[in-house]
Amino acid sequence: MTQPATTGRAKLIATLGATAAAASLAIIAPWEGKRNDPYVDIVGVTTVCYGETRVEMRRYSDAECEEMLADAVGDFGGAVLERNPNLAGHPYQLAAATSLSYNIGKSAYARSTAARRFGAGDMAGGCRALTMWNKAGGRVVPGLVNRRNAEYRLCMTDL
């Protein structure tokens, strides 16, 4: 007897917990925006759906984009938890860090000041460090300033 495939959303909740999963999706989706057809982003990278770069570049349905987002957020959130396991009990800080990781990449997040501060238990300092990532192509981008400020506000919840 085969087991049913676990959906992206179910895997996401299993990885991050319900609160962090919901908060991660709620902050990432609007900032990334969704385009069902591939497009070139601000720094020249071809992306699709909610800023996904790791898939075949073709047209995707809304349902495929939603599933892809849930899978990706679980993947990036899992990497954040590997780097900062102490965020497991801090759903809003985990969601904000996951959003940053989703946007800048796992390895950049792992090397970031935010990750170092979270790892040291400095939650507020980690939240402040999120705002450092406001550049694309070497220049400050107002949209990234706004996104980082939204992540910071989320991150400071319940601190």
Active site residues: 32, 41
Q: In angstroms, how far is the first alpha carbon of the chain from the final one?
A: 46
3-state secondary structure of 40: strand
Report yes or no: 53 and 47 within 8 Å, Cβ to Cβ. Answer: yes
* 159/148 Cα distance (integer angstroms): 17
Helices (H), 84-141: 91-104, 106-111, 113-119, 123-130
Report yes or no: 12 and 71 within 8 Å, Cβ to Cβ. Answer: yes
